[in-house]
Amino acid sequence: MFRHSLVAVLGATILLIGFSAGAADRVTGKKFATRSEVIAEHGVAATSQPLATQIALDILKKGGSAVDAAIAANAALGLMEPTGNGMGGDLFAIVWDAKSKKLHGLNASGRSPMSLTLNEFREQGLSRVPPYGVLPISVPGCVDGWFELHEKFGTMDMKEVLAPAIGYARDGFPVSELIAYYWDMSVPTRKDQPFFLETFTTDGKAPAKGEIWRNEPLARTLEKIAANGRDEFYRGDIARTIARTVQDAGGFLTYEDLAGHRSEWVEPVSTNYRGVDVWELPPNGQGIAALQILNILETFDIAGMGFGSTEYVHTFIEAKKLAFEDRAKFYADPAFADIPVAGLISKQYAADRAKLIDPSCAARRYDAGNPALHEGDTIYLTTADSEGNMVSLIQSNYRGMGCGVCPEGLGFGLQDRGELFDLEEGKANTYAPGKRPFHTIIPAFATRDGKPWLSFGVMGGATQPQAHAQIIINLVDFGMNLQEAGDAPRILHTGSSQPTGETMTTGGVVSLESGIGYEVRRDMTEMGHRLQINVGSFGGYQAIMFDQKQGVYFGASESRKDGQAAGY
């Protein structure tokens, strides 16, 4: 009797487990999908931290614009996720303005110190800009970016926009497990930098999972900015404190460098990929690399290859290699170099480059092309409001918590974006005073028939253009929904030529997420690809899609991080 009952229970359990898995497969459509999309009518926010998402949503519910919500969330993330962003870093954004029915691009990246010359690096015997300390510091562009966005598209008073971040900084918030892990990893490399331990540790230790973290100095800094505007940061006491801290440590950033800073409104550039216009910002960022990859892949039958197939993975990697050779040669501050953007993202150029791909063998190296010259760790978040405005915003310190130098008593650290300058003379990205470094952080947008369709981004250094292309391919070629497109196992290639001068000579290294089969990995190895595990970051994805027919937003958030998409 007991034996028969046990068999019945076990059988029912197995049936239930099988049914549940099958039901999940039928609902999501893909085994790798972690959850369904968020669908809302009036507004959506998607950030890498649930508390920041709720802040953005609260701003939207109070009548704030998508830009207000994005700024509020970004300010909070500087507190809650200092391992990726903060006021000491740079910012880029693409905004869809429902009123003008137009995309607007903002480059809020800072420039190198005017008193620091290339010769200084030589005198110190350096062949590369170091990642920590005072030498990689450039002007922080984030705060000016907030105010440029707010002046053009904000509707709420800046005091109200920054109030949630101020409140959390003063009252505290519980640190999540993932951020606690990265925070702890950052301390050993930066503990000797000015005021780092005082700013980001308690008795020399990073906050643990679940610990309430408070940052009263950051609350005071945000209050001053909210009350007095961007000039408080660039021309007031905050600027003087930043400059004094850097110079006392032997650095070169001055008050004049900060006072002279300005953001730049730029025209986004695009390519059409099988009926979808994909938009990126022009250099000094790397966004057009995603467009180059897509243009090359458009010459192949990607849908016919099938997701995760050897043919697709190989072709994608080779297209990435080609684009990144151009990235290393051409991408830089356009104020210092003639960049053939139109040529680089042209269809004919892509078709010519695609012919270099051997379908059966991995290339050990490619040379950069010769396009015609035409005139012409990070957080990502996206928001959308009831008026139809959408914001794609990315903001970063570069190497997680930046260079480690923290202005005394201000509650934040400074970026080390200058590390990406090349110290070899004669390159597009060669270091020069007052120059914006090559940038990895890129927001993205996509339109269909001139109407807003998709605001998205994937943080993660050189992963970003690779992941941008994969998101579009997942949606367009493989028919995935918005969440599936981000959950799908990613392809990552490292080892192409870098903006700092290294050249790919071994074919680089491929890392494939779990979900791409053993047979593919075996085939890739036989074709000459070098496979490794966990070579780099697979990124952090957030996205909002607008359904014109139904008049609703779809939201999706990264399953690899702490992110949340929410709407109302």
Strand segments (E) across 33-89: 38-40, 44-47
pLDDT at 3: 38
**What Cα–Cα distance (Å) separates residue 563 from each residue in 151, 315, 400, 486, 558?**
28, 31, 17, 12, 6
pLDDT at 442: 95
Catalytic residue, from 378, 383, 447, 500: name it: 378
Q: Among the listed ranges 23-37, 416-430, 475-489, which one has the minimum average pLDDT value?
A: 23-37
More confident residue, 491 or 9: 491
Tell me what percent of the residues of the chain surpass a pLDDT of 90.
84
- Domain residue ranges in the chain: 39-264+401-420, 266-378+440-558
Q: What's the chain's average pLDDT?
A: 92
pLDDT at 44: 98
Phi, psi of 506 (to 5 degrees): -115, 5
pLDDT at 20: 37
Burial track 236-246 (b if 16+ CB lie within 10 A, e otherwise) = bebbebbbebb
- Mean pLDDT of all residues in 92-97: 98
Q: ∠282-470-387 over CA atoms, to 5°? A: 65
pLDDT above 60 for 5: no
pLDDT above 80 for 4: no
Of 568, 455, 564, nearest to 53 (Cα)? 564
pLDDT above 50 for 147: yes
- Mean pLDDT of all residues in 5-27: 39
Predicted confidence band of residue 150 (pLDDT cuts 50, 70, 90): very high
Q: Give the pair of three-digit tokens for residue 257.
A: 């460098």
Question: CB burial class (10 A; 0-12, 13-18, 19+) of residue 515?
Answer: middle
Right CATH number for 266-378+440-558 from 1.10.3720.10, 1.20.120.330, 1.10.246.130, 3.30.390.30?
1.10.246.130
pLDDT at 239: 98
Active-site residue 378, yes or no?
yes
DSSP letters along 432-468, please? -TT-PPPB----EEEEETTEEEEEEEEESTTHHHHHH
Q: What pTM was computed for the model?
A: 0.92
The upper half-sphere exposure of residue 313, i.e. CA atoms within 13 Å in the direction of its Cβ, equals 27
Q: Cβ(500)–Cβ(420) under 8 Å?
A: yes
- Mean pLDDT of all residues in 87-113: 97
pLDDT at 349: 95
Q: What is the dihedral of CA 237, 238, 240, 243, to 10 degrees?
A: 180
